[in-house]
Structure 1
Amino acid sequence: MSGHSQGPVTIHPVKSKADLTEFVELAFRLNRGDPAWVPPLKGEVYGLLTPGKNPWFEHGKAQFFLARRDGRTVGRISAHIDDLALAQPVEQGMGPGTGNWGLLEAEDAETAAALLVTAEDWLRGQGMHRALGPLSISIWDEPGLLIEGFDTPPTIMMGHNSPLYRGWIEAAGYRPVKQLFNYDVRVDEGFPPLVNRIVAAGEKNARIRIRKVDKRRFDAEAKLIMGLLNDAWSDNWGFVPLTDSEIAYIGKKLKDIVFEDLIRVAEVDGEAVAFMIVLPNVNELLIDMDGSLFPFNWARLLWWLRKPKSRILRVPLMGVAKKLQNSRMASTLAFMMIEFIRRDAVRDYATQRGDIGWVLDDNQGMNAVAAAIEAKVNRVYQIYDKPLG
């Protein structure tokens, strides 16, 4: 971060295509010196920010802002409101009157402060009385600010930010409301005996069937899994339901990086009641692509995706139907899915480690599963809020 502050910071809403380009490019300029930052694919970032492309905008609205000083762009932020989040119960973290901000990048503390004030003013103008952030843009994208785990690059779909941002956000009057854990676990040597015993007992249980997804029926499988997800997570802090068009959009985005042997659906008495999605860590490639697939990176990516060798696999999503939660069956199914995928991953993808997250700090079931497989927290993300008086 450079410290040439001369003139005052001015804040401008993103209005034109050129503004939006500056908004996207700034993250690349400010983070280029950080060896743990993984440049996202620019096409993906534009997709996230564009109404008509990202179905989030069917129930949400956003305003993006740029900070300028002496004619240079020195910061950015988004302010947004999600109608589905406003409809959630207050005790679950969202609810009426809660707006959000995210996508914060700033060269210095003064810029960050001016951006946060602008986002809060916009939210206030929309009738909001509480700001919750950072979310980029929805709880399903990149929630939270990284506060621990700066030394290693994040895996696919995880955020990374400057360690300075925490102090700047807290100085603006934000207090932590929730932590999200990411776990790292060694998978190439197998799990502790207790886990193996639970899995072996589950394998003998005739009521349980753990199956791979069928990519030929991809759309139906995606719908089944995301429907389970909406049910499994519905009582979680911060939950906002995924709409049908969001489910279709996520399915389309995941289609190229989904492998049948890395996704499992658990059935009990013939009914699908749990799932686990595991993705190869595309970030291993993206880290040297500088956000672009052209001219040659596209071929590299396609070649890698034919049969990826992925030292780290990421588990972004797993869930068990609400009616089974906190039961012994729930943990049996979780351990079985984890172990079956572990075996295939080690054999077919040369995988050594698993990355599991995000897990809410109060999600006792998942934190207990992580402890049983001897996973260790390697990244912590924090979500903040502030009353807008």
Structure 2
Amino acid sequence: MAQLTIRPVETTRDRKTFVDLPFRLYADDPNWVPPLKGEALGLITPEKNGWFSHAKAQLFLAEEDGRVVGRISAHIDTLALTMPAEQGFGPGVGQWGLMDAEREDIFQALLARAEEWLRAQGMTRALGPVSMSIWEEPGLLIQGFDHPPTIMMGHAKPEYRAWIEAAGYACVKRLMTYDVDITKPFPPIVQRIIQSGEKNPRIRVREVDKRKFEEEAAIILGILNDAWSDNWGFVPLTPPEIEDVGVKLKPIVFNDLIRIAEVDGRPVAFMITLPDLNEAIAPLGGSLLPFGWAKLLLWLRHPKVKTVRVPLMGVVKAMQSSRLASQLAFMMIEYIRKASAENYGAVRGEIGWILEDNQGMVSIAETLEGDINKVYQVYARDL
């Protein structure tokens, strides 16, 4: 019988092996989107990921007779440790993620090793999967295996849910994405709300100006950190992370897909929409060579996509739960809906992820006649 060993990732070659494993495990899954390997390596390399400026991680590989059969990350975010416990993180809460395995016994051995590392670091509770920041790919997919994920959303094997729960983990939060038909106008009630807003001289909804990328990003970040500060799982973005995100997302930032709403000249809300980059990278098999880079560059010049995703939107806390907040949201959504369909050929929008108990956002998605198309769960247990 082959002997299973779990060992830490220590070298550049180990990190490449860590990144390569899912390409084999998901080779027969038509709905798994191979990430660009350079991006996946950057995520787990401290020198290339600003998240490591306030976090540390240990990666592990599982091997049988020299063959890699599983992987996991264990990590601690020092900013997350300072957050209120009722918001999901807080003192003593470590995380794990980036987990894949051929069999359940391998899965359990990896999870036990990650927990052992977290205990040695003084952690008293483990939460996961979070890969690796809450701003990246949190949660385990439990519904929506029949279609590929959009940009910056995760995919997983259906059996992982039972394996995690067998290890004593309980769901602490559900995250949902909503599928919205954007080929037709929204319901009459939404149109009336938008028309009323357009008559209000205090309101201005504008496109961002990519030529002023840093200035616009600072405005959005200010609203984001205020709007999301009371949300479950919130950890403020730091300057090194913002710089990294800017580098990654700038090529798929288009003025007409990102809006800032102003009231009396003050920015109070924003909505970010991205063309689904996964549609372009799925055929590349994780590599830009030999001709993938040219195909991607051509696509980026003027992307045509089936789907656009809304990963982030927010309204300053002082206005949340107000009628004006909903009005601004619907106005931004409608303007971006038109731009997405007319300028990029999109037929569907995906809103999320949305916390299951975020009543404001759930109400907006339902008013738009959106349907839940994917559900993710975050699990935790005491160590």
TM-score range for the pair, normalised by the shorter chain length: over 0.9
After TM superposition, the score normalised by the length of structure 2 is 0.99
Aligned to 1:304: 299
| Structure 1: distance between partners of 2:27 and 2:319 | 46
Mean CA deviation greater in 360-369 or 7-16: 7-16
Aligned to 2:358: 363
Alignment of 1:117-136 (within 5 A): 117-136=112-131
RMSD: 0.7
Aligned to 2:139: 144
Match of 1:334 among 329, 336, 349: 329
1:8 shift after superposition: 2.6
Mean CA deviation greater in 344-353 or 334-343: 344-353
Partner deviation per Cα, 1:279-330 (whole Å, 9 max, x = no partner): 0111112111111111111111111111111111011111111111111111
1:373 shift after superposition: 0.3
Aligned to 2:312: 317
SS of 1:66's equivalent in the other structure is strand
| Structure 2: distance between partners of 1:205 and 1:103 | 48
1:97 shift after superposition: 0.2
Matched-pair contact (CA < 8 Å) for 1:223–1:247: no
| Structure 2: distance between partners of 1:57 and 1:70 | 33
Aligned to 1:86: 81
Alignment of 1:48-197 (within 5 A): 48-197=43-192
1:229 shift after superposition: 0.9
Partner deviation per Cα, 1:129-164 (whole Å, 9 max, x = no partner): 000000000100100000000000011111001001
Mean CA deviation greater in 123-132 or 347-356: 347-356
Match of 1:253 among 241, 248, 255: 248
| Structure 2: distance between partners of 1:227 and 1:53 | 24
Partner deviation per Cα, 1:21-73 (whole Å, 9 max, x = no partner): 11000011111110000001111111111112101111000000000112110
Aligned to 1:382: 377
Partner deviation per Cα, 1:335-371 (whole Å, 9 max, x = no partner): 0000001111111111110011100001000000000
Which segments of 5 or more consecutive residues in structure 2 lack a partner in the other structure? none
1:251 shift after superposition: 1.3
1:253 shift after superposition: 1.0
Matched-pair contact (CA < 8 Å) for 1:229–1:319: yes
| Structure 1: distance between partners of 2:88 and 2:203 | 35
SS of 2:283's equivalent in the other structure is coil
Match of 2:36 among 36, 41, 44: 41
After TM superposition, the score normalised by the length of structure 1 is 0.98
Aligned to 1:199: 194
Paired residues, what number?
Answer: 383
Match of 2:21 among 26, 37, 47: 26
1:200 shift after superposition: 0.4
| Alignment partner of 1:244 is 2:242 | no
SS of 2:314's equivalent in the other structure is strand
| Structure 2: distance between partners of 1:267 and 1:73 | 53
| Structure 1: distance between partners of 2:353 and 2:16 | 30
